[in-house]
Amino acid sequence: NVFIMSHFSHFYPEGGSIYIIFAFQEPDREKALQMYTEIWNVGLEACHKIGASVAHHHGVGLLRAKWMRKEYGEEGFKVLQAIKKALDPNNIMNPGKMGFESR
């Protein structure tokens, strides 16, 4: 059984944010993590397919980092990487975030 809630907030001219909150019980830790990851992947793929952003107004972080290449396209992501490298040549600011390389 899965418990799912959602609400809409933070509306801008470009659109708004949909918060999805889910909970489930799974005593096996590995299985729980696998289920959690799969739920997120299905949701983020659905967002991507309809042209929605998978980014969040609080940031991208680690959870959605792997989706940044897909969201911006290869060329767009290369531009972001170049900006990151120019502003942070030693990669000390949030390494591994937004899909950029870790240290």
Domains in the chain, please, with CATH?
A: 1-52 (no CATH), 60-103 (1.10.45.10)
More confident residue, 86 or 14: 86
Q: What is the DSSP letter of 21?
A: E
Average pLDDT over residues 43-64: 85
**What beta strand segments (E) does 1-103 contain?**
2-12, 15-24
Percent of the chain with pLDDT over 90: 51
Binning pLDDT at 50, 70 and 90, where does residue 66 land? confident
56: pLDDT strictly greater than 80: no
N- to C-terminal Cα separation, the chain: 39
pLDDT of residue 55: 81
- Is 72 a catalytic site residue? no
pLDDT of residue 101: 84
pTM equals 0.74
Phi first, then psi: give them for residue 70, nearest 5 degrees: -65, -40
Residue among 12, 19, 36, 72 flagged as catalytic: 19
Instruction: Encode pLDDT of 68-81 as tens digits.
Output: 999 899 999 999 99
Average pLDDT over residues 2-12: 90
